[in-house]
């Protein structure tokens, strides 16, 4: 894979490597991409949580499931 970076970005990456923030430009870029991908995954998960929190049927199901555990709470096990 080959990418063309803005010269200022390429310079900043070289500076980061030169200062010891990363062992190489490849590692610096790969770490940055992984971080961005992780943030995208997190945003999708949080969006799904938000959608679920607005779904009345889902909330009813959660409440019913929660109620089914009441008996285990009543047995006073440690």
pTM over 0.75: no
32 against 74, higher pLDDT: 32
How many degrees, rounded to 5, is the angle at CA 70 between CA 46 and CA 66? 20
pLDDT value, residue 11: 98
Three-state SS for 21-70 is CCCCHHHHHHHHHHHHHHHHHHHHHHHHHHHHHCCHHHHHHHHHHHHHCH
Confidence of residue 67 (pLDDT cuts 50, 70, 90): confident
| Residue showing tokens 């970005």 | 9
User: Does pLDDT of 78 surpass 70?
Assistant: no
pLDDT value, residue 69: 79
């Amino acid at each position: 894979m080959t990418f063309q970076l803005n010269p200022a970005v390429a310079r900043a990456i070289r500076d980061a490597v030169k200062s010891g923030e990363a062992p190489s430009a490849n590692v610096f870029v790969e770490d940055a991409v992984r971080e961005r991908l992780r943030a995208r995954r997190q945003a999708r998960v949080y969006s799904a949580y938000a959608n679920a929190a607005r779904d009345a049927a889902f909330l009813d199901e959660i409440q019913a499931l929660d109620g089914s555990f009441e008996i285990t709470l009543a047995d006073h096990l440690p």
